Structure 1
Amino acid sequence: MGNCLCVKPATKDEVTTLNTREAPPAHFMIKIESFNVLEKYGIKKYETKEFVAGDYKWRLIFKFNGKDSDYISVNLAMADTTSLPTNREVNALFSVFLFNQISGNYLSSTEITAMETREASPAHLLVKIESFSLLGTCSIDEYETREFVAEDYKWRLIIYFNGKNCEYVSVSLAMADTSSLPANWEVNVVFNIFLYNQISGNYLSSPGRTRCFLETKSEWGISKFISKKILSDPSNGYLVNDNIVFGAEVFVVKKDAIIECVSLNNINIHYKHDFSFHQ
């Protein structure tokens, strides 16, 4: 996988779409007790302790923004970059969660309905289809890639061309071999599907979708991944010289997160000041 992490705050015109999921975060959880104490003592920022993910150290930064703001901001930051070489870039797919203590599930920032672009190539699979137009000529409605391994499981992409009456190409991720898994198995994953732009050199990406793969539901996908009208126009860069390139990334959500608990019951501050906790 390439190396570039570009994290920017939302502008006034940007909207973050939140979704819910049952699987807990894979890497880190923090519980803040006596949360109202933060506002009482004018604490506008809190930094968590470090946690490790993907061989790098990270921390979450909460910004409470005082009484003039209607929102709480949450940022992900690299916690220790001293050992990294000059001009090092790190590509990261990340999600921020909020636990619903009544329903028992998690509000997640992972899934965004709009497609995005990125320069880094997919981590796990690239498949190039040559003479793409022959699929329609020969009435081939779907294509299954060969198996690939990601996070100790076998997967394949399934590309549905949906015949002449459908205006979109659909792409799904499916578990390719489940014979060795125990009965009633369950695998929670975050996956991305990509389409290579052969003109710009970057990738059209479906931002991370969190899905639960089960014995009874081993395939998930995007029914309207890209319209045939956009795809068939060579000037858009996706279908050039009758060649097209799809890609995929699959990350399993594991239940081994570090848990941090912050208790503010005994805090005693005689003045107000902006500061950060480091644990």
Structure 2
Amino acid sequence: MAILQNTGDENEVIVETRDLFPSHLFKIESFSLLSEHGIDKYESSEFESSDYKWKLIIYPNGRKTETEDGTDHISVYLAVAETSSLPACWEVNAVFSIFLFNHKFDNFLSVRGRVQRFHCLKSEWGFSKFIQMETLKDPSNGYLVDDICVFGAEVFVIKNKGTKECLSLLKVTDSFKREFKISKFSEVGDIWYSEEFKAGDHKWKLSMYPKGSGEEKERSVSIFLHSVDLERDSSCKKIKANFYIRIKNQLIDGAHCKNGGSHWFSTLRVALGCSRFIPMVDMNDPKKGFVVKDSCIIEVEISVQATVR
């Protein structure tokens, strides 16, 4: 069972027991002789974890501070090693556990804190009150047997390689409108593209399939609005836009066929519109007014509402 405990440091820690051996072990024989030989601080050999070099620092009589000459606890710290080889203003964010082997129960005492920021001004973190001296030195507790104790460490570095996302919501005041006239409509091939245009600080273009696309081939005219930015710019992930596409009726003022709404454009859906925009028979019927003198007029209206980068 894990226990939340305050060890006297800045942060509370999780104390638990574990059967699994830690990644790195450090054995001390004749532990009692450390004090007799005046060794108040011992640094372990370096070990590597997550592409960084580390070392354990053990204070058998507790870590002395400006306000304390020591404590009744053993202090254990983890430090970044070989800092001189790291770049200027280096920083490592890591969560780590420090272990103490229990010979009696064949398991480990584990003390784990929250994520800590190691950097050039603070290259070590740990626990000033890792375990009470009285508890450690009592052989019946199993931590110090035949004057031998075994410490361990595990380090997990949090690397900042994850996806970073920023949602920007925009206050829409006016929508962008533009018309495109397609002359010689009967001579357009399978697809027509408009020139690129800018709306809401983003680039767009229209595409029309006069003879339909996909399942609407030879049945309906298909029209789509494309986000040029999403096709080309990897920094832009999604764009939410309210848009309408209209084919103007040139015989009846104010009457036209339209499609659109509020939608999310994304890198997986760079084009949105309608494959069944208007039946081909209606589009090509001169009495309907959508094609007059072999020309049609397409109007697009866009207001960008949000972007994700």
TM-score normalised according to structure 1 size: 0.52
Give the AA of the match of 1:118: R
Partner SS, residue 83 of structure 2: coil
* Aligned match of 2:17: 117
The one-letter amino acid paired with 1:131 is S
CA distance in 1, matches of 2:82, 2:70: 32
Contact 2:55/2:79, CA 8 A, preserved across alignment = yes
Distance 2:143 2:46 in 1: 23
Specify the code of the residue in structure 2 equivalent to 1:117.
T
Give the deviation of 1:232 after TM superposition.
0.6
Q: Deviations over 1:225-262 (max 9, x none)?
A: 0000100100100000000000000110012236799x
Partner SS, residue 223 of structure 1: strand
Shift of 1:161: 1.8
If each structure's strand is expressed as a fraction of its own residues, which one has the higher value?
A: 2
Q: 1:115 Cα deviation (Å)?
A: 1.4
**Contact in 1 for aligned 2:4/2:12 (Cα 8 Å):** no
CA distance 1:219–1:16, change in 2 (3 Å): closer
CA distance in 2 between partners of 1:201 and 1:210 (Å): 28
1:180 matched to 2:85: yes
1:196 aligned partner: 101
Q: Could you say what the CA RMSD is over the residues aligned between the two structures, in angstroms? A: 3.2
Change (3 A) 1:186 1:260: closer
Give the structure-2-normalised TM-score.
0.47
Q: Whole-Å Cα distance in 1 between the matches of residues 60 and 136 of structure 2? A: 12
Q: 1:220 corresponds to which residue? A: 125
1:127-152 per-position Cα deviation (integer Å, ceiling 9, x unaligned): 11001110111121111100000011
Contact 2:50 2:155 in 1 (8 A): yes
The alignment of Structure 1 onto Structure 2 pairs a total of residues equal to 160
Secondary structure of the equivalent of 1:179?
helix
What's the CA shift for 1:167? 0.5
Residues 134-213 of structure 1: matches in 2 within 5 Å?
A: 134-162=33-61, 166-213=71-118
* Runs (5+) with no aligned partner, structure 1: 1-7, 18-110, 267-279
Q: Which runs of 5+ in 2 are unaligned?
A: 63-68, 167-262, 264-309
CA distance in 1, matches of 2:43, 2:80: 12
Structure 1 237/15 Cα, relative in aligned 2: closer, same or farther at 3 Å? closer
**Relative contact order, higher structure (CA 8 A, sep 6+):** 1
